[in-house]
Structure 1
Amino acid sequence: MKERQDGAAWQVVETREIYDNPWIRITEHDVVDPNGNPGLYGVVRVHGLAVGILPVDDGGMTWLVGQQRFPRGYYSWELPEGGGSFDDPQGSAERELLEETGLKAGAWQEFLRMDLSNAITDEQAIGYLAWDLKEGAAQPEACERLELRRVPVRDAVAMALSGEIVDAFSQTMLLKADALARRGALPAGLAQHFI
């Protein structure tokens, strides 16, 4: 574990595996916190990598995916995203984009790495910009019932700012891309669609 600047770190006394399935593993730890207090800490260990894609076409449009989210029981509009492989994150992103939207991209750029809910999980995420798009038929997984919405990327940014898009990964990708565009840090052909 990474140590604080003053050298104090969490100490693990004992670890138990509580649950495991193909997607997650839950471990429980008897710990001593950085201040020397004994405690209990549960961690959700995610078996894969989260990948997300912000596709932008030549007209400045992007695709949002609508779906029912089981954990909190609500309908969510998000950028295309899903589980991926640590060994081939971009290949996983290409697969997710095709599955959820039917899109294939000729150009890709990784632009975001983040930890998701790092107090209770070790889940990591990588976000990609995708452009030079070719449309095809979506190929959702058997358990997915998806709805697609094509909107101007500026409108998607506004949806993230207003809270209409509540998915943290989608919000972060949209707002980071917008900030990078305003700083001149995106390819010119993409940046013009945000500003």
Structure 2
Amino acid sequence: MHHPEENPWKITSEKTIYNNPWINVTEYQVINPSGNPGIYGKVHFKNLAIGVIPLDEELNTYLVGQYRFALDQYSWEMPEGGSPEGTDPLESAKRELLEETGLKADQWVEIQRMHLSNSVSDELCIIYLARDLTQFEAEPEDTEQLIVNKVPFAEVYRMVCSGEITDSVTVAAVLKVQLLLLENRL
């Protein structure tokens, strides 16, 4: 598809509003595409988002349950975490899978790259499919109080379709894996 190469937004000034080890929030004074002045806020994530959908030979996967502070509710999702800038995302994915589930995988395939909220942030997510799994001891971070459940993939797909699973990374990964299964590409 053809699209314009030049950015129609003009930045006249910028100011850091908030900064911590994980995010930076910047407010921009702009001239918008229609030529009018305005403001735009951007959240920059200092880590890549990483998701791992482990899938065993019997087509079971592993869901991680935890209470999500920002949502003020419990969430079931696939193993997820961050990959600090300058770190190999695949190595981060391997670390997250082991930390959260105790699993190691011999086969890794990147199945999706996506922006999580491109209207207000630049957060990029990389999703991996992990196969040929071996169970070890989980090593959760001290901020994580996790429950791990081995669930048939078909049940997880049903949970996504019914809205029981709402985590965007998990939803995207499950839909992608379902498509790959339907197309006999796994």
TM-score by length of 2: 0.95
SS, match of residue 150 in structure 1: strand
Are positions 1:13 and 2:15 aligned together? no
| 1:128 alignment counterpart | 128
1:6, distance to aligned residue in structure 2 (A): 8.3
Structure 2 CA distance for aligned equivalents of residues 52 and 79 of structure 1: 7
What residue in structure 1 maps to residue 113 of structure 2?
Answer: 113
Measured on the aligned residues, the alpha-carbon RMSD in Å equals 1.5
Question: How far did residue 12 of structure 1 move?
Answer: 0.7
Is the aligned partner of 1:59 residue 2:46?
A: no
Q: 1:178 deviation in Å?
A: 0.7
Q: Name which of structure 1's ranges 82-91 and 60-69 shifts more when overlaid on structure 2.
A: 82-91
Per-residue displacement from partner, 1:68-112 (whole Å, max 9, x unpaired)? 001120000000001113530000000000000000000000000
Q: Which residue of 1 aligns with 2:81?
A: 82
Q: What is the correspondence of 1:165-180 to structure 2 with a 5 Å cutoff?
A: 165-180=165-180
Moved over 3 A (4+): none
Q: Percent identity?
A: 46
Instruction: Give the structure 1 partner of residue 27 of structure 2.
Output: 28
> What is the CA distance between 1:159 and its match in structure 2?
0.6
Structure 2 residue 103 is the aligned partner of structure 1 residue 103: yes
- TM-score, length of structure 1 as denominator length: 0.90
Matches of 1:161 and 1:91, distance apart in 2: 30
More strand by share: 2
Please identify, of 33-42 and 91-100, the stretch whose mean Cα deviation from structure 2 is larger: 33-42
8 Å contact from structure 1 (residues 8, 35) kept in 2: no
- For structure 1, the residue ranges without an aligned partner over 5 or more in a row are 188-195
Q: Distance in 1 between matches of 2:176 and 2:84?
A: 23
* 2:39 match: 40
5+ residue gaps, structure 2? none
Shift of 1:180: 2.0
- Cα distance between partner residues in 2 of 1:143 and 1:174: 26
**In structure 1, what is the equivalent of residue 154 of structure 2?**
154
Write the deviation string for residues 119-147 of structure 1: whole angstroms up to 9, x where unpaired: 11110000000010000111000010000
SS of the residue 1:156 aligns to: helix
